[in-house]
A and B are shown apart, each in its own frame.
Chain A
Amino acid sequence: MCKVLSGHVLRFCQQLRQNGVNVGPGETMDALRALEAVDMADERIFHSALRLVLCSSLEEQEKFDRIYQLYFHSQYKKEDKAGIALFSEEMHTDDKQEKDKRQERYAPGSVLAAPSNDKMGESKGFSLSARLALYDVNGSATPCIPQEKEAEVLKSAKDLCRQVQLCKSRRWKPMKHGVRLDMRRTFRKSVAYGGEVLNLVRKGKPPRQAEFVLLCDGSRSMEGIAETVLQFAWALTRSAKRVETFLFSTRLKRVTGQFKLAFGKARPKLTVQGTEWGGGTRIGESLDTFVSRYGSQLLNPNTIVIIASDGLDTGAIEELESAMRILRRKAAGIIWLNPLLSLSGYLPEARGMKTALPYIDVFTSVESLFTGLRWLKPIR
C-alpha cells in the first residue's frame, strides 16, 4: 500500500482515538489489512471497510461517520491542523458566538458531542473542556450518601432480595434433590469405585435471581430523602446480582456505573448535574426516557422497578401514564416509595401520583427502607 495512504489511515485512527473511539494498534493494523483486501476505488467501500474494522458499537459508528466526514472531506488536512486543534478551534468560535445554545450542541448527532458522562475522565482533549463548560452552565452536584442506619438498610435490601421469588432458570446445577440424574458427575464419581456407580448425583434448575431498577427522584422536594434512597441503592447493589440505578429531576441519568466503581464498603462518589439533582420534577418525561431508551435492555419479567418520588409532577401527565403502563407490562412489578406517606392524613391526590397509582404493586413510605420492604406478590 502506498505510504501516503497508510500515513493518512494512521492519522485518522489517531484522530478517532482522541475523540473517544476505542482504536488500538491492533485495529489500526486490521484497517490497513482490510484496505488491501477491498476495492478502494469505490469510496463507499473504503468507508464501510474502515468502519467495520474500527468501530465496535452503533454509538462509535455515529462518531466515526462525523470524524470521517471532517477528516476526509474538509479542507483540514495538513498536519499542523491535525489533532485536537481541529476540533477545539471550532469549539472556541462556538464559545463566543452561541453560549446559550451550547446544550443543544452536545446532543448526540453533533460533531462536538461530548462522550457520555459514564466514561468520565477517560478521554482527554476537546471533550474534557466541553464537559467542563457544560458543568459551568448547569452547575454540578455531588449527592452525599449518609452512613447512619447502615445496618438496617443493608438488612432490608437483603430481605427484599430474599422475598422476591422467581420461577426457575434454564440452567442446570447439581442439586441434592434435583429432578434429573447428572450423568457427568455420576460417572466421574464412579471412577473412585472402579466404574461401579454407587453415588448418584442429581441436577436441577435453581431459581432465578431478581434484577432491580431503581429510579430515584432527586428534585428539590425530595431533599434529604433522596439521599436515603441512594443509600438503599448502594445497599441493594451489594446484595442483588443486577441493580441499575437512575437519578432524575428534569432529566434522567444512569448512575449505575458510578455505583459500581465503589469498592467494598466504600460509598460511591456521585457527580451529577442540576438537571438530575435539586431541580424541578418531571417524572413522566423521565420515566418515558427510561422506557424508550433503556426499556428493551433492562426490563424483563425478572425485573422489579423501584421508583422513589413524591409524585408532585410538573410535566405532562399522559407521558407518565403511558410510561407506567409499559413498565407494568414489561417488568415483574413496581414498588413506589413515597416520602409523603409517612405524614398523617396524606392522600395520594396529586395529579401524578393519582395517575400512577393503579399500576403500582407496593405503595409504601421511605421509612420502610429501614424497617423492611414487604414484597408479597409471587412472580411468574
Chain B
Amino acid sequence: MMFIEQAFQEQGYVTDRSTATALQLVMALKKPLLVEGPAGVGKTEIAKVLARALDTRLIRLQCYEGLDVNTALYEWNYQKQLLHLKLTEQSGMTPAEREAEIFSSDFLFRRPLLEAISDVDASPVLLIDEVDRADEEFEAFLLEVLAEFQITVPELGTLYARHRPYVILTSNRTRELSEALRRRCLYHWISYPDPEKEKAILASRLPGIDTRLAGQIVNIMERIRRMPLDKIPGVAESLDWAHALTVLHQGELDAQTVKETLGCIAKDLDDWKQIEQALEEGWMSGNV
C-alpha cells in the first residue's frame, strides 16, 4: 500500500488512499481501471506517474471520433510492401517466399494496442485517454482486446501478451460509456481535491511557493468552483495560476492581482465576467 503512495510522492503526485488502493488493485487483479472526473483533476497524470513510478513504458492511445482499428491496433506498411515486391521481382524467389517476406513484422506498423501487448521485458502502462470520444463501435472492439489481451493478425497469427499491460482508461463523460465496458473495469471517480490536498499538490509541484500564497490560491479556487461556471477550473488551472503568480513575484493575492491574472483560471467570457463581478462585490476581500 505504502509503496504506491510513496512512489507517487517521489514523482510529485499527491495521491489519496482510494487512488492508491485503485492502483494496487489494478496490479493485483490485473483489471483495467476506468477513471472518470471533471477536466483538469489529474486523470491522465495517474497513468503517466504510474509508468514513471514502476519504471516502465507508457503507451498512450488518444481517442477521438472516427478512431478506427487501423489506427489503434496495427496496419501494414503498404507502400513499403509494394516497393519491396517491385524490387524483388527479378530476385528469383518463389511467390511463397516473397509473400512470407512482405507479411513479416518488418512491414507492420505497430499501433498502441498491439505495442502494449507485445512488450517482452515488463508490463507497460497503457493509457486509453478520453475513451468517451471514440465511437461506440470502437468501444465494442476495445472490450475484446481488454478481455483477452490477445490480438489476431490474420497473416501472422494470434499474438498473446507476454506481460499484461496495466490499463488505465479515462473519460470526461461526454458520452455514457456502455455498461459492458464499465463492468470490465474497476471504477474510480476523481473529484476536485479538498483544500488540504490541493495545498499539498501546489507545494509538491512548485517547491518554492509561499505557504500563505498557496493557502490563498486554494481558498479562492474552492470558492470559484462553487460558482455556476461553464468551465470550472481544475487542479491544472490552480497550478498554472500559482506558477504565473510566482513568475510575477506576487507574494500575496488581492482583488487587483486576481483580476490581472484571471486568464489563468477563467476560460470563458461569461465565466470571466461572473468572477469579475464577484470580485467587485468585495466577495473575497473580507475573507482572504
Please report A residues at the B interface, Cβ cutoff 8 Å. 22, 24, 26-27, 30, 33-34, 37-39, 42, 44-45, 48-49, 51-53, 55-58, 60-61, 169-172, 183-184, 186-187, 190, 195, 197, 292, 296-297, 300, 325-326
Chain B residue with minimal CB distance to A56? B182
B55 at the interface (CB under 8 A from A): no
Cα distance A326–B64 in the bound complex, in angstroms: 24
B82 at the interface (CB under 8 A from A): yes
B28 at the interface (CB under 8 A from A): yes
- Selected contact of B230 from candidates A37, A49, A184, A326, CB within 8 Å: A326
Chain A residues contacting B281 (CB-CB under 8 Å) are: none
CB distance from B61 to the nearest CB of A (A): 15
Please report B residues at the A interface, Cβ cutoff 8 Å. 1, 17-18, 21-22, 24-25, 28-29, 31, 33-34, 36, 64-66, 68, 70, 75-76, 78-79, 81-82, 85, 173-176, 179, 182-183, 185-189, 228, 230, 270
Q: Is the beta-carbon distance between A55 and B187 smaller than 8 angstroms? A: yes
Given contacts A34-B25, A172-B66, contact A57 B78 (CB under 8 A): no
Q: Is the beta-carbon distance between B173 and A297 smaller than 8 angstroms? A: yes
Cα distance A330–B205 in the bound complex, in angstroms: 34
Q: Is the beta-carbon distance between A34 and B29 smaller than 8 angstroms? A: yes
Chain A residues contacting B79 (CB-CB under 8 Å) are: 183
CB distance from A347 to the nearest CB of B (A): 30
A–B Cβ pairs within 8 angstroms, 19 of them: A22-B183, A27-B183, A30-B29, A30-B31, A37-B28, A44-B17, A45-B1, A48-B22, A49-B21, A52-B18, A169-B66, A172-B66, A172-B68, A184-B75, A187-B81, A187-B82, A296-B173, A297-B175, A325-B270
Chain B residues contacting A60 (CB-CB under 8 Å) are: 187
Cα distance A190–B81 in the bound complex, in angstroms: 12
Chain B residues contacting A49 (CB-CB under 8 Å) are: 21, 25
| Residue among A34, A186, A292 facing the most chain B CB atoms (10 A cut-off) | A34
Q: When A and B form their complex, which 5 residue pairs have the shortest distance between CB atoms, in order from nearest? A: A171-B66, A37-B28, A56-B182, A48-B18, A183-B78
Chain A residues contacting B64 (CB-CB under 8 Å) are: 170
Cα distance A55–B179 in the bound complex, in angstroms: 11
Given contacts A22-B183, A184-B70, A195-B85, contact A53 B25 (CB under 8 A): yes
Chain A residue with minimal CB distance to B38? A296
Cα distance A56–B183 in the bound complex, in angstroms: 6
Chain B residue with minimal CB distance to A197? B82
| Residue among B21, B22, B189, B230 facing the most chain A CB atoms (10 A cut-off) | B21
Chain B residues contacting A326 (CB-CB under 8 Å) are: 230
Q: Is the beta-carbon distance between A48 and B17 smaller than 8 angstroms? A: yes
| Residue among A58, A169, A186 facing the most chain B CB atoms (10 A cut-off) | A58
Chain A residues contacting B179 (CB-CB under 8 Å) are: 22, 56
Q: Is the beta-carbon distance between B78 and A187 smaller than 8 angstroms? A: yes
- Selected contact of B36 from candidates A26, A33, A34, A58, CB within 8 Å: A58
CB distance from A320 to the nearest CB of B (A): 15
Q: Is the beta-carbon distance between A53 and B186 smaller than 8 angstroms? A: yes
Q: Is the beta-carbon distance between A297 and B29 smaller than 8 angstroms? A: no
Q: Is the beta-carbon distance between A38 and B1 smaller than 8 angstroms? A: yes
Given contacts A56-B187, A171-B68, A184-B70, contact A297 B21 (CB under 8 A): no
Q: Is the beta-carbon distance between B65 and A170 smaller than 8 angstroms? A: yes
Cα distance A60–B176 in the bound complex, in angstroms: 14
Given contacts A33-B29, A61-B189, A296-B174, contact A169 B65 (CB under 8 A): yes
Chain B residue with minimal CB distance to A302? B65
Chain B residues contacting A24 (CB-CB under 8 Å) are: 183
Q: Is the beta-carbon distance between B17 and A38 smaller than 8 angstroms? A: no
Chain A residues contacting B230 (CB-CB under 8 Å) are: 326
CB distance from B53 to the nearest CB of A (A): 18
Cα distance A30–B78 in the bound complex, in angstroms: 44
Given contacts A52-B187, A58-B189, contact A44 B78 (CB under 8 A): no
Chain B residues contacting A292 (CB-CB under 8 Å) are: 228
Chain A residue with minimal CB distance to B185? A56
- Selected contact of A38 from candidates B21, B78, B182, CB within 8 Å: B21
Cα distance A57–B24 in the bound complex, in angstroms: 20
| Residue among A37, A170, A325 facing the most chain B CB atoms (10 A cut-off) | A37
Chain A residue with minimal CB distance to B33? A52
Q: Is the beta-carbon distance between A38 and B24 smaller than 8 angstroms? A: yes
Cα distance A186–B68 in the bound complex, in angstroms: 18
Chain B residues contacting A186 (CB-CB under 8 Å) are: 78
CB distance from B184 to the nearest CB of A (A): 9
CB distance from A146 to the nearest CB of B (A): 31
- Selected contact of B76 from candidates A45, A55, A184, CB within 8 Å: A184
Chain B residue with minimal CB distance to A292? B228
Chain A residue with minimal CB distance to B17? A44
Cα distance A77–B76 in the bound complex, in angstroms: 61
Chain A residues contacting B270 (CB-CB under 8 Å) are: 325
Cα distance A216–B57 in the bound complex, in angstroms: 52
Chain B residue with minimal CB distance to A45? B21
**17 other A-B residue contacts (CB within 8 Å) besides A45-B21, A292-B228:** A37-B29, A39-B1, A42-B1, A44-B17, A45-B17, A52-B18, A52-B188, A56-B34, A56-B179, A58-B36, A58-B189, A183-B78, A184-B70, A296-B173, A296-B174, A297-B173, A300-B174
Cα distance A21–B157 in the bound complex, in angstroms: 40
Cα distance A43–B161 in the bound complex, in angstroms: 35
CB distance from B224 to the nearest CB of A (A): 17
Q: Is the beta-carbon distance between A52 and B25 smaller than 8 angstroms? A: yes
